[in-house]
Structure 1
């Protein structure tokens, strides 16, 4: 295997709302399609398995909840998965069959709490996971907060592989935590389909001197019926709810694929990993350009459940 060359892809597609088995079937089909095109690394969008609840409010407002909202959350909770569950096992088996790595956005269920999570898969199985540290805006109503224990990038034959989810990419210290691990392949599953996202991804590629692979869903109203989840969205069935914008950028910020809008797609690009040290010749964010005599970053990698209420002394 040539460890300096990698065929990578991002999948621009939608979940089947509240139907995890159907979404899993779609993911397995995309893995088959990608393998037929020689893909060795495939990235899926944020919250792909479990679903991104676009426009939903779960009837929550300050100081009150409703029985209808609780019932809706229960349906969303039932669509979520666990990392050690059968869905991830099937994806891992497909990766093993095709000697492929995958980065999959899921809604992870742990007890009564849901997390927006990315799972790293390789031919040998589950390599790790990352839970979104900071759910954005009303996402905080239904998703728990991740912690530093899942900020660890994973090893691949082509270098370190990491993932930063959606608006975590606007957290400078989190990006630096990835750069400190010498991430060569930086994945950004997202629900942000705005034009500004492309600028963000190109900036991250240049700042981190890494390849950036961003996957966003292409979702239309007909795939997100109101009778399955209350939401505040237009009723016309062809209304675009998420228009995609998936892309692949190289370490100098050049676009290798995408962005593509308003259609399903599998964007494929050949990555030359020798570009990483070439790009670092004049800018290495954690090397000769870091100025550790002036700046430093400490990352708390302890799991949040390691901090017990009884251990606190804050009054």
Structure 2
């Protein structure tokens, strides 16, 4: 493989009954598959570790909560992980053993406050856990159980090859200013973990690749009703019925689909990225360079953490 080629993988998987050990076992299995195909990076879907609570209400309606819903939330909360913490240490070991960069969607628990966040973490085979992105805008009912990320967790990290990698979660990808921020940081491998399985999602991924002149990797969960915990709203009588249909995809900087979309089954996508093609793609469009018109348009970003406590000096 030439120096400009970088092989990546996308895992289309679901969270087995929100069980941490079973989830980590599945993750390790897919990392091993990607390693055997000589991939150097693998992306897992949104909320893969911890689970996406599809159809959950947590017993909440406008102006009212139920005791049963609080119990359900407590159980869900217990499946969330600290970042960094023991689970990221385990992932660091897996990344090092298989020499592969991990981008993983997780449900994160903030240790001091207990607030949950839908996050994406970066785990480097050389340096272990190196950064996280907390979803800045949970969508609709997600706001009931997840907090809002702030500007302090918008990293664009680099691997040993110097490739710039970022993750933006699900419908955050509809936020044009967030995309512009990542373009301004020179993102080259734009990861979009999601649970959006609609066919129209593909148009968004192709648009971002074309707009940002970057490679786009999208990993969507694939689940059947039996994959949810017993008693969960998505665990119904037809256990093999599809709940999340997938649609994972890998796209190049000119919008060409390199792999996928994979639908209606669990699986792994693998593709070779020609990193030099990013240069050629910017011949006629660079969204934060010669095409930006920064004399007219400017972006202001608050990268400070949003903290409750401000100690006086």
- Return the TM-score normalized by structure 2: 0.95
* In structure 2, C-alpha distance between the alignment counterparts of 1:66 and 1:81, rounded to whole Å: 25
* In structure 2, C-alpha distance between the alignment counterparts of 1:3 and 1:163, rounded to whole Å: 24
Q: CA deviation at 1:258?
A: 0.3
8 Å CA contact 1:209, 1:276 repeated in 2: yes
Q: CA deviation at 1:32?
A: 1.1
The answer to whether residue 246 in structure 2 is matched with residue 239 in structure 1 is no
Alignment of 1:156-305 (within 5 A): 156=159, 157-227=161-231, 229=232, 231=233, 235-305=237-307
How many equivalent pairs are there? Answer: 308
Unmatched runs of 5 consecutive residues or more in structure 1: 311-315
- The corresponding residue for 2:149 is 146
* In structure 1, C-alpha distance between the alignment counterparts of 2:51 and 2:188, rounded to whole Å: 28
- Higher mean C-alpha displacement, 201-210 vs 89-98: 89-98
Per the alignment, in what secondary structure is the counterpart of residue 190 of structure 2? strand
Q: Deviations over 1:105-162 (max 9, x none)?
A: 0000013210000000111101100000000010000000000101121012142100
Against the structure 1 CA distance between its residues 269 and 147, is the aligned structure 2 distance closer, same or farther, given a 3 Å change threshold? same
Q: Deviations over 1:217-240 (max 9, x none)?
A: 11001112442x2x2675311211
* In structure 1, C-alpha distance between the alignment counterparts of 2:130 and 2:90, rounded to whole Å: 15
Per the alignment, in what secondary structure is the counterpart of residue 305 of structure 1? coil
- The corresponding residue for 2:22 is 22
8 Å CA contact 1:55, 1:233 repeated in 2: no
Runs of 4+ residues deviating >6 angstroms: none
8 Å CA contact 2:120, 2:132 repeated in 1: yes
* In structure 2, C-alpha distance between the alignment counterparts of 1:290 and 1:42, rounded to whole Å: 31
8 Å CA contact 1:3, 1:158 repeated in 2: no
* In structure 1, C-alpha distance between the alignment counterparts of 2:3 and 2:92, rounded to whole Å: 21
- The corresponding residue for 1:313 is none
Alignment of 1:2-151 (within 5 A): 3-110=3-110, 111-123=113-125, 124-151=127-154
* In structure 1, C-alpha distance between the alignment counterparts of 2:235 and 2:76, rounded to whole Å: 18
8 Å CA contact 1:8, 1:40 repeated in 2: yes
Against the structure 1 CA distance between its residues 309 and 56, is the aligned structure 2 distance closer, same or farther, given a 3 Å change threshold? farther
Unmatched runs of 5 consecutive residues or more in structure 2: none
Per the alignment, in what secondary structure is the counterpart of residue 183 of structure 1? coil
Aligned-pair Cα RMSD in Å: 1.6
